[in-house]
C-alpha cells in the first residue's frame, strides 16, 4: 500500500511582527523594512527549503546555515525552479532583530528562517530538509557519485585526505579542478560546493545548484523513484525534514518529469547593496526589492515555469559537433545549453577548426531564443546563420578552438515577464 501524504498547508505569518521588540533584544541599528506582500502561488506549487549545516570543525559552538536554497516545484506541470539565498543578506527576523539571514536558525530554529523568508521575500515555505556535511557526502556516495561538467577551473585549499584532522594546517594543500567532465564522490562534491577562496558567495550558490541538478539526474537514471520506500530509512538518518513519507514519494514520482521538462536556476547577484552595520562594522548585503530586474522580479520567476520548459512548448534542440582540440568541449557546451533549457544532441566530432559556427534552421528567428542561445555560446547574436534547409535539429553548432565554456551565469539575459 502506498502511503498518502498529509495535506499541504500554506504558511502564514505566525510571529508578532508588529509588536514591540522582545525584551532584552537591542534596537536594530537600521530601520525595520515593511513586510513584503505574499506571492499568490500557482495551483499545485510546493516550496521546499534546502539547508546545509556548517558545524565547527571541533564540534563545538552553534552550527551556521552554510547553504540556503528554495526549490519551488509545480506538481501539475512537473517543472521546478530554484534560487540560492546569500548568507550575508541583512534582513528583519520577525519579532527578533535585524541580522544576517544565515543566523536565523540559531536564533529561532528553521521556523524563524521560514518566517524571515516569508516576511522579506513573500515566499511561503511548505517543507524543509537540512543536512550536515557528513550527511551530504553520504547521499552523494549512495548515488554512486555524480557526473559534473566543470566549465570554469576552480582552485582552493582542500584537506589532503578526508580522514585527516581539519584543525591542523599541515593537513591542507592547494587543489585545482580543471575544466572538463568529472565524476565526483561525496568528498570532492562537498569541496566543490563549499569552495570560496577564488570565487564569490554567488558562484558557490551556482555550484550548489549544479550539484542538486546532477543529483536529480543521477537519481532518475538509477531508477531510485521505485526504490524510495526502501531508501527512506537511510535518508531519514542523514536528513532532518518535516516531509512525511507520502509527500517524499509524491515528489519522487514526478522527478523524471521535472528532469525532462527542465529546472530554472535563479540568483540574487546584482540585486543587493553592500552595507556596513553601524554598531559592529560588519559587511552585509541589503536587499533591493523593487526596480528593474530586482528581487521582486526574481522571486516572481521562482513561481513560474522555466521559459524553455518542455511541459507546454516544443523543445529547442541543438546538434553539437565538437571541432576543437579539446575532447570535453562538446559535453561542456551541451551542459551549458541544457542549463538554460535547450535540448542538446551530441553529433560526431570533426577535425579541429579555429572558429565556432552557429546555424538556425528556419524561415526566421521568431521563437528561436536566438538572443539566449548566442549568449550561452559566448558569441554575437548576428553570428548565427539562418538556413532555410530542413535540419534534424533547430540549431547546429560546430565548436571551434575559440569556444570558452566558462560563462558569467549572473549576466545571463532573461525572457521578458511582461509577456503573457
The span from the CA of 348 to the CA of 392, in Å, is 14
| Rounded Cα distance, 131 and 137, in Å | 10
Q: Quick check: is 420 in a domain?
A: no
Neighbours of 386 (CB within 10 A): 13
Phi-psi region of 255 (alpha: psi -120 to 50; beta: other; left: phi over 0): alpha
Q: 83 pLDDT exceeds 60?
A: yes
Q: What is the pLDDT of residue 63?
A: 65
DSSP 247-297: HHHHHHHTHHHHHHH-EEEE--TTSEEEEE-TTT--EEEEE--SSTTSHHH
What percent of the chain clears pLDDT 70, i.e. is strictly above it? 92
CA nearest 40: which of 100, 105, 122? 122
Q: Is residue 179 a contact partner of residue 153, using CB atoms and an 8 Å limit?
A: yes
| Same domain, yes or no: 154 and 283 | yes
Residue 258 lies in a domain: yes
C-alpha 375/C-alpha 187 separation (Å) is 33
Report if residue 103 sits inside a domain.
yes
6 pLDDT above the threshold of 50:
yes
CB-CB contact of 214 with 146 (8 Å): yes
List 41's β-bridge partners, or say none: none
Please tell me the predicted confidence (pLDDT) of residue 5.
73
- What spatial distance separates the first Cα and last Cα of the chain, rounded to whole Å? 42
Residues 390, 396: contact at Cβ < 8 Å? no
Residues 270 and 298 occupy one common structural domain: yes
**Domain membership flag for residue 206:** yes
Q: pLDDT band at residue 53, thresholds of 50, 70 and 90?
A: confident
- In this prediction, residues 86-91 reach a mean pLDDT of 94
Q: Is residue 106 part of a domain?
A: yes
User: pLDDT tens digits, residue range 187-229?
Assistant: 999 999 999 888 888 899 999 999 999 999 999 998 887 777 7
pLDDT over 90, % of the chain: 70
Establish if 17 belongs to a structural domain. Answer: no
Choose the weakest-confidence range: 16-20, 124-128, 219-223, 380-384: 16-20
Strand 172-177 to strand 263-266: parallel, antiparallel, or no bridges (unpaired)? unpaired
Q: Do 333 and 260 share a structural domain?
A: no
Boundary residue ending a domain (302, 335, 354): 302
Q: Is the pLDDT of residue 1 over 80?
A: no
Element holding 220 (H helix, E strand):
helix 201-221
Same domain? 113 vs 162: yes
- Determine whether 59 is exposed, middle or buried from the number of CB atoms within 10 Å of its CB (0-12, 13-18, 19+): exposed
In-domain check, residue 368 = yes
For 24, residues 6+ apart whose C-beta sits below 8 A from its C-beta are none
One domain, residues 208 and 80:
yes
Range of weakest confidence among 46-60, 225-239, 250-264: 46-60
**356 and 266 both lie in a single domain:** no
| pLDDT surpasses 90 at 69 | yes
Residues in the chain: 420
pLDDT of residue 93: 95
Of 89-103, 193-207, 317-331, least confident by mean pLDDT is 193-207
Q: In this structure, are residues 263 and 276 in contact, taking their beta carbons and an 8 Å threshold? A: no
Which helix (H) or strand (E) segment is 203 a member of? helix 201-221
Clarify whether residues 356 and 394 are in a common domain: yes
pLDDT for 368-383, tens place per residue? 999 999 999 999 999 9
Residue 366 has pLDDT above 50, yes or no: yes
Give the model's confidence band at 60: pLDDT under 50 very low, under 70 low, under 90 confident, else very high: very low
Average pLDDT over residues 346-373: 96
Domain-located, residue 29: no
The domain spanning residue 173 has which CATH number?
A: 3.40.630.190
Given 247, 276, 302, which residue is the final one in a domain? Answer: 302
Q: Which of 262, 279, 302 is the last residue of a domain?
A: 302
Are 62 and 150 contained in the same domain?
yes
Domain ranges, residue 387:
317-411
Q: Say whether pLDDT at 20 is over 80.
A: no
* Distances 111 to 105, 117, 141, 179, 407 between C-alpha atoms, Å: 8, 10, 30, 40, 37
Q: What mean pLDDT do residues 68-77 have?
A: 95
> What average pLDDT does range 37-60 have in this prediction?
82
Q: Residue 407 is part of a domain; what is its CATH number?
A: 3.30.70.2390
Asked if the model's pLDDT at residue 61 lies above 60, the reply is no
What is the tens place of the pLDDT at every residue in 284-303?
Answer: 999 998 876 689 999 999 99
> CB of 321 within 8 A of CB of 397?
yes
Mean pLDDT to the nearest integer, 152-178? 94
Same-domain check for residues 238 and 126: yes
The count of domains in the chain is 2
On whether both 142 and 241 belong to a single domain, the answer is yes
Residues 281 and 357 in one domain: no
Instruction: Report how far residue 116's alpha carbon sits from residue 93's, in angstroms, rounded to the nearest whole number.
Output: 5
141 burial (CB, 10 Å; 0-12 / 13-18 / 19+) is middle
Could you identify the residue written with the cell 555560446?
377
- Pairing state of beta strands 317-322 and 395-399? parallel
- The stretch 330-336 carries a mean pLDDT of 97
Looking only at the bridges linking them, the beta strands covering 272-276 and 283-287 are antiparallel
DSSP letters for 316-375: -EEEEEE-SS-TTHHHHHHHHHHHTT-EEEE----S--SS-EEEEESSS-TTS-HHHHHH
Q: Is the pLDDT of residue 148 over 60?
A: yes
Please, which residues bridge with residue 398 across strands? Answer: 321, 357
- Considering the domain architecture, whether residues 51 and 197 belong to the same structural domain is answered as yes
Judge whether 221 and 242 are in contact, CB under 8 Å. Answer: no
Going by C-alpha positions, the residue among 161, 134, 12, 119 that lies closest to residue 63 is: 134
Amino acid at each position: 500500500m502506498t502511503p498518502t501524504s498529509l495535506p499541504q498547508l500554506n504558511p502564514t505569518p505566525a510571529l508578532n511582527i508588529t509588536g514591540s521588540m522582545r525584551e532584552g533584544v537591542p534596537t536594530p541599528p537600521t530601520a525595520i523594512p515593511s513586510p513584503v506582500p505574499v506571492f499568490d502561488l500557482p495551483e499545485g506549487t510546493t516550496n521546499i527549503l534546502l539547508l546545509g549545516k556548517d558545524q565547527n570543525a571541533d564540534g563545538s559552538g552553534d552550527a551556521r546555515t552554510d547553504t540556503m536554497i528554495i526549490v519551488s516545484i509545480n506538481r501539475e506541470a512537473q517543472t521546478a525552479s530554484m534560487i540560492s539565498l546569500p548568507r550575508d543578506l541583512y534582513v528583519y527576523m520577525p519579532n527578533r532583530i535585524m541580522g544576517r539571514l544565515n543566523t536565523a536558525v540559531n536564533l529561532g530554529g528553521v521556523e524563524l528562517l521560514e518566517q524571515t523568508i516569508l516576511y522579506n521575500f513573500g515566499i511561503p515555505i511548505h517543507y524543509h530538509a537540512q543536512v550536515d556535511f557528513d550527511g551530504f557526502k553520504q547521499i552523494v556516495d549512495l548515488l554512486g557519485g555524480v557526473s559534473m561538467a566543470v566549465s570554469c577551473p576552480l582552485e582552493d585549499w582542500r584537506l589532503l585526505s578526508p580522514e585527516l584532522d581539519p584543525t591542523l594546517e599541515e593537513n591542507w594543500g592547494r587543489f585545482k579542478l580543471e575544466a572538463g567532465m568529472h565524476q565526483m564522490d561525496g568528498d570532492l562534491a562537498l569541496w566543490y560546493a563549499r569552495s570560496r577562496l577564488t570565487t564569490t558567495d554567488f558562484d558557490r550558490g551556482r555550484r550548489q545548484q549544479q550539484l542538486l541538478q546532477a543529483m536529480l539526474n543521477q537519481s532518475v537514471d538509477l531508477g531510485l523513484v521505485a526504490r524510495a520506500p526502501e531508501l527512506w530509512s537511510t535518508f531519514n538518518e542523514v536528513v532532518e525534514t518535516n516531509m512525511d513519507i507520502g509527500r517524499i514519494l509524491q515528489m519522487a514520482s514526478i522527478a523524471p518529469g521535472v528532469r525532462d521538462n527542465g529546472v530554472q536556476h535563479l540568483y540574487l547577484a546584482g540585486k543587493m547593496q553592500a552595507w556596513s552595520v553601524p554598531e559592529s562594522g560588519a559587511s552585509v548585503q541589503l536587499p533591493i526589492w523593487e526596480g528593474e530586474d530586482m528581487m521582486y522580479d526574481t522571486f516572481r520567476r521562482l513561481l513560474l515555469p522555466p521559459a524553455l520548459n518542455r511541459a507546454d512548448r516544443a523543445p529547442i534542440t541543438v546538434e553539437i559537433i565538437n571541432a576543437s582540440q579539446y575532447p570535453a568541449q562538446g559535453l561542456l557546451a551541451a551542459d551549458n545549453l541544457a542549463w538554460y533549457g535547450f535540448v542538446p544532441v551530441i553529433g560526431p566530432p570533426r577535425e579541429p577548426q579555429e572558429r565556432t559556427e552557429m546555424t538556425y534552421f528556419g524561415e526566421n528567428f521568431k521563437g528561436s531564443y536566438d538572443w539566449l542561445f548566442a549568449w550561452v555560446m559566448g558569441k554575437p547574436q548576428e553570428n548565427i546563420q539562418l538556413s532555410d534547409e530542413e535540419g534534424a535539429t533547430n540549431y547546429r553548432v560546430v565548436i571551434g578552438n575559440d569556444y570558452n565554456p566558462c560563462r558569467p551565469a549572473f549576466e545571463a539575459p532573461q525572457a521578458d515577464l511582461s509577456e503573457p
